[in-house]
Each structure stands twice: as C-alpha cells, then as structure tokens.
A and B are shown apart, each in its own frame.
Chain A
C-alpha cells in the first residue's frame, strides 16, 4: 500500500514503512522528479509555474504562497495515499517542514480523507521509541 507520512521527508518513517513492506510516499521521491527536469534551475526554487497553479486546488489564492507552494507538492501525494502515519512533536520544524500552517493543513487533509491513519509522537528515549516502533509495526502489518 502507498503510505503517506508526516513529516514527509522523515528518514525514520521512510525506513520503517519500507522495512515493513509498504511503499512510502515521500517528499524526496516527489522532488526527485522535479529537480531533474530542466524547468527547475536552482534552489530555493524547487517549483515551476505549473506547480503553483496546481497548488490552487489545495489552498485558496489568499493563502500565503509558501503554504500553496508546499501543498502543490504534498497535496497530490495525499490524494494518492492509501494510508498515513502522522508523527507529532518532531524536533526539526524548520526548512521545508518548517511551516506550521502547512503542517496543520496537511494533517487536516489526511484526517478528512478517511484513510487508515496512525498518529504517533517523536520519541525522546528508548521506551518511547519502542512504543512508537511497535505501534507502527502493528499498523503496517495490519493494512
């Protein structure tokens, strides 16, 4: 199954989804298709004009361009998702996953879609990590 994850660029979640036999829908995989196209020349411009227009499907014109630009990439991934894992309280909320409003919007979109969803918290010690991994394992094996 195609599993979407929040944060969409997480190494830990990507590995666990793949390890337990599913296809992770990741930001890196999606951007890979973008950055090898000649339309995108250099960072921070990882989007083309068409992407911005596609973002209008997920966020109105009055929404800040940063949110719309992010949703232009992440929105189609949510559309494609058959299941999702949401990780709360991740300590690295900067860079491409640093926009809190986009993260809230994305969580809302996933919940609204009604697909099987697991919500976990970023671990801070071994016990919390054990709980997180056992929940993810049980969830992915049960899909």
Chain B
C-alpha cells in the first residue's frame, strides 16, 4: 500500500502510471491516497524502492491485510472499511513526518523544551491566601 503525503505534488495517477511503466509483473490499483501493489515480495520491494525515489520523504508505505479487490473489503462490493479512519488520520499527519524526515536528513538535533517545574507547595499556599482574602 503506497500512500502519498498531502504535502507532495504527486498524484495517485502519476504513481500508478509510473509503476506500470516499470514493466514489472505486478497487480496495480490506483486509490484515493496512492496505489496498492501486489505480487511476489522481491518485485514489490523493487517497485517500492523505485517509487520512493520520486519523492523520498513524501511517499510512505505499509503492508495491507486484504488482497486488492477482495470482496470482503472492496467498496465496489459494499465491503466494510473499518481501518480507513485510522489511515485517514495518519495520512493527514504525514506532512509533519515529512518535515521531520527532512530535518533528520539534515542532521538537525531535535529536543522538546524542558517541562515546566512543579509549583512548590509554599507558593500554592500563598496563591490560595491571596485569592481567599
């Protein structure tokens, strides 16, 4: 399952056409978020590495449990789609991961600012006294 980040300028159609142009023995299906590819493991890996070169930090992938066009999941056959909400949420956030991957490539050291210190009990008492006056 190939997913294009929202920040990418590539379209699912371009990805699908590119995979077809590789001439590999794969089953390809264009989807709204990218493309699904299916075939022998080594050929899928080869295709994936070629596709990634188009936009390395904005093309993501994961394995999909159900085969392409499986009647139990495929919308054309009124299949249920219980996992889509999660993919949709993660897809929206891929732009952040893209920024982070670019920063990692540049060797940027990223650390969150330290958490604010806890309020001492003495100060809390003072605040309580001020408010209760």
Contact = CB atoms under 8 A, between A and B. Distances in A.
Interface of A: 9-12, 14-16, 18, 26-29, 31-32, 34-36, 42-44, 91-92, 94-97, 123, 125-134, 137
Q: Which 5 A-B pairs have the closest CB atoms?
A: A133-B100, A129-B96, A130-B110, A31-B65, A14-B62
Q: How would you classify the secondary structure of chain A's contact residues: helix, strand, loop or mixed?
A: helix
A131 B99 CA distance: 11
A129 B94 CA distance: 10
11 contacts: A11-B62, A11-B87, A32-B64, A35-B66, A35-B70, A95-B83, A97-B86, A126-B100, A129-B99, A133-B101, A133-B110
B97 A12 contact: yes
A74 to B, nearest CB: 14
Contacts of B61: 14-15, 18
B69 to A, nearest CB: 13
A100 to B, nearest CB: 16
Contacts of A123: 93, 96-97, 100
Nearest to B96: A129
